Structure 1
Amino acid sequence: MGYDAIRSVGTADHLVFTFHGTGATADQLHGLARTLLPKAHVVSPQGDVHEGDAPRFFRRKAEGVYDMDDLAQRVEKMGLFVRGEITRTGVSHVTGIGYSNGANILAATAIRYPRLFDTLVLMHPLIPWVPAPEPGLAAKRILVTGGRQDPICPAELTQGLADWFTAQMADCTLAWHPGGHEIQQTEIDCVADFLC
């Protein structure tokens, strides 16, 4: 079982995955990836878990309280999907870009399968646990962004995740804007500078 996804063909030896936030669709970040990395292949899966009418990538029990069993199953499924797309395109370089719930499935998948991605962009992630050490993340390029007043992803947890990646010897950059959970233009500018 895979995912419904938007796919754009590129000419570079580079595959970009984008992962949308809760309630959004696969095209939320697809155009951004095409704009920032126009020669890359881009694949944007559609979350297949629904919270009411809002699509997501895994279940939660409450705000910030994840169904960890479901998350583990969804990470396995996403790992298979990502590997399949890498095989299909035959690329050597893989980037993941995720926002909110999309950043969470991306981070959890990269932590579980660190060889899948070279580069991660995690916008407003919330990983409410301390992962076990993962030496496979050493030297990976990671950008974590957040809002200082984000009510969904508290600043201290965003900082903690960035610190954890740094402790794994990843090349991790943390960028803030002064607002909340929304994506601001300064954040997009930071992502552009990081990827280009």
Structure 2
Amino acid sequence: MSAYQYRADPAGDPAAPVIFLFHGTGGDENQFFDLAGQLLPGARRVAPRGDVSEHGALRYFKRTGEGVYDMADLAVRTAAMTEFVRDVAGEASRVIGLGYSNGANILASVQFAAPDLFDVTILMHPLIPFAPPAADFTGREVLITAGRRDPIAPAVATQALADYFSANGADSQLAWHEGGHELRQDELMAIQKFLQ
């Protein structure tokens, strides 16, 4: 199967929707597990643990500095995560992804590599500091949530990512709050509305 450690609901209906949960730097597989149960009752939850340690903080890929990604490592770990999601999703009727910060970045990277994999994604405070490849996201839904004053994921980069998804056929939405890199209540409400 996979080298990833992960938390998941007990085996249920294999055709039920599945939501993959990707934590931020320093988080773990528990970070969004309960929240996902509130957002999508009835969906099977799968939360892989990042397998890269940055001074003890778990992440999904290496970086050489703030906002500077180790692109070779990102490619290897994107391929591994893509395989993990395909294996675990199985016969699910819908495949949903939710990621925050570093988790949003690995989720977006998997989307670039495998546009057919996720039906719906929620990218919370992503930062993609490179030009993604052209892809076909027709029929896919993407919500990006972000802070207008985020020092880690600048607003201009967030807008560029939203524009990228729209230009490549996704039904793309962008929900801003007035703060920084933190998650806010109005952001969670926007996610809940998006998923209904």
Question: Counterpart in 1 of 2:176?
Answer: 176
Question: Counterpart in 2 of 1:30?
Answer: 33
Question: Counterpart in 2 of 1:188?
Answer: 188
Secondary structure of the corresponding residue to residue 95 of structure 1: strand
Question: Counterpart in 1 of 2:87?
Answer: 84
Question: Counterpart in 2 of 1:18?
Answer: 21
Using the size of structure 1 for normalisation, the TM-score is 0.96
Partners of 1:146 and 1:160 in 2: how far apart?
12
Partners of 2:177 and 2:77 in 1: how far apart?
30
Partners of 1:176 and 1:71 in 2: how far apart?
27
Partners of 1:18 and 1:52 in 2: how far apart?
22
- In the alignment, does 2:61 pair up with 1:58? yes
In the TM superposition, what is the alpha-carbon distance from 1:92 to its structure 2 partner? 2.1
Partners of 2:133 and 2:75 in 1: how far apart?
14
Please give the per-residue CA displacement for 1:16-56, whole angstroms capped at 9, x wherever unaligned: 00000000111111111111111010000000100001000
Structure 1 residues 110-121: aligned runs within 5 Å: 110-121=111-122
Question: Counterpart in 2 of 1:46?
Answer: 49
Partners of 1:92 and 1:114 in 2: how far apart?
16
Secondary structure of the corresponding residue to residue 181 of structure 2: coil
**Pairwise CA RMSD of aligned residues?**
1.0
Q: Which amino acid aligns with 1:15?
A: V
Q: Which amino acid aligns with 1:116?
A: L
- In the alignment, does 2:6 pair up with 1:2? no
Partners of 1:131 and 1:177 in 2: how far apart?
25
In the TM superposition, what is the alpha-carbon distance from 1:138 to its structure 2 partner? 1.6
Secondary structure of the corresponding residue to residue 146 of structure 1: strand
Q: Which runs of 5+ in 2 are unaligned?
A: none
Partners of 1:30 and 1:40 in 2: how far apart?
11
Using the size of structure 2 for normalisation, the TM-score is 0.96
Partners of 1:145 and 1:115 in 2: how far apart?
22
Aligned residues: 193
Partners of 1:48 and 1:35 in 2: how far apart?
26
Partners of 1:107 and 1:32 in 2: how far apart?
20
Identity %: 49
- In the alignment, does 2:166 pair up with 1:156? no
Partners of 2:70 and 2:85 in 1: how far apart?
22
